[in-house]
Amino acid sequence: MNKKYKSILIILSLLVIILIIILVFGKDDKIIPVLDDNISKVDSPLIVENSYETKTLNENDPYVKFDIKYPQFKQVDNSFNENISNLIKEQIKDTKEVSSENWQARYDTQMEGENIGKYPKTDDEKFYLYSDFNIIQSNPYFISFILTYGAYTGGAHGYEAKVSFNYDVLNKKVLMLKDVFSPSFNYLEYLSKESRDYLYKEYAEVKNGEEGDENMKDYFDGIKEMIDMGTEKKEENFETFTFTKEKIKIYFSQYQVGPYAIGMPEVEFYRK
């Protein structure tokens, strides 16, 4: 093979290599990764006006009073909005079924002298289900919000739950907890330690004047055990979260890190 053909082959080989590099590394060059430094320079408010709409539901039911609000977002895959609305529909369905059964049981087992009708007479007698939401960010890059719903269907008290939704608008994908930290960062160890430190100080420290009270000491020791269990280095302990470019907030469920009386604690830390 003469030098002329060798030169042509070398040039063609270089062109092929360059083309491969362009195809592999030049793809989606406009997409901004979650942890790219450029994300902090994006000139966009956290919440863009008209980036979502509020849906409401007031269903007519003989046993349950409803007060339902939830968001639906623009510039997202249909599946993301469906996940939100489907969660609400499931809660409505379950609450209707449980409320009907519980009211019927109350009616069937009423004591002499009680005047419980087959159906609630007024809205105030009905069981209830509500939902609302808090948008942390909704812009051309990310969506992060917390949906809160609760119900009373009988018993000593009702319940409340929080579910978070986090979404990468540009890449059209749901974001998991690991996605908002650097790949090499041990985020579970960080969240576990920081959460425990905060929750100990907030809910499990002996206050002035309680130092010699053994009952209070036992009470706080019990809370510490619950905090330790609820903040173990497990993904599910921190799966309810929202985030901004600087911070992440963790939402703990009822009874996860303490008794019913302390509610549903929230802790906020800087992302690393």
Q: One fold for both 41-175 and 179-270?
A: no
- Domain extents in the chain: 41-175, 179-270
Q: pLDDT tens digits, residue range 203-235?
A: 988 765 565 567 788 888 999 999 999 999 999
Phi (first) and psi of residue 180, to 5 degrees: -100, 10
One-letter amino acid at 149 equals: Y
CATH code of the domain occupying 41-175: 3.30.565.40
The sign of the torsion formed by the CA atoms of 36, 42, 46, 52 equals: negative
The residue whose two tokens read 């469906």 is: 82
pTM of the model: 0.81
Helix, strand, coil abundance in the chain, percent, nearest 5: 40, 25, 35
Q: pLDDT tens digits, residue range 111-132?
A: 988 899 999 999 999 999 999 9
Q: Residue 62's closest CA among 88, 110, 95, 86?
A: 95
Q: How many CA atoms lie within 13 A of 192 on its CB side?
A: 14
Q: What per-residue confidence (pLDDT) applies to 38?
A: 41
Per-residue pLDDT of the chain (272 residues; tens, 9 = 90+): 555 555 656 666 666 565 555 554 444 433 344 444 444 445 679 999 999 999 998 889 999 999 999 999 999 999 999 999 999 999 999 999 999 999 999 999 999 888 999 999 999 999 999 999 999 999 999 999 999 999 999 988 899 999 999 999 999 999 999 999 988 999 999 999 999 999 999 998 876 556 556 778 888 899 999 999 999 999 999 999 999 999 999 999 999 999 998 999 999 999 87
Q: What per-residue confidence (pLDDT) applies to 37?
A: 44
Neighbours of 236 (CB within 10 A): 9
Overall fold of domain 179-270: Actin; Chain A, domain 4 (3.90.640)
What gap in Å lies between CA 265 and CA 212, rounded to an integer?
27
Q: What per-residue confidence (pLDDT) applies to 116?
A: 92
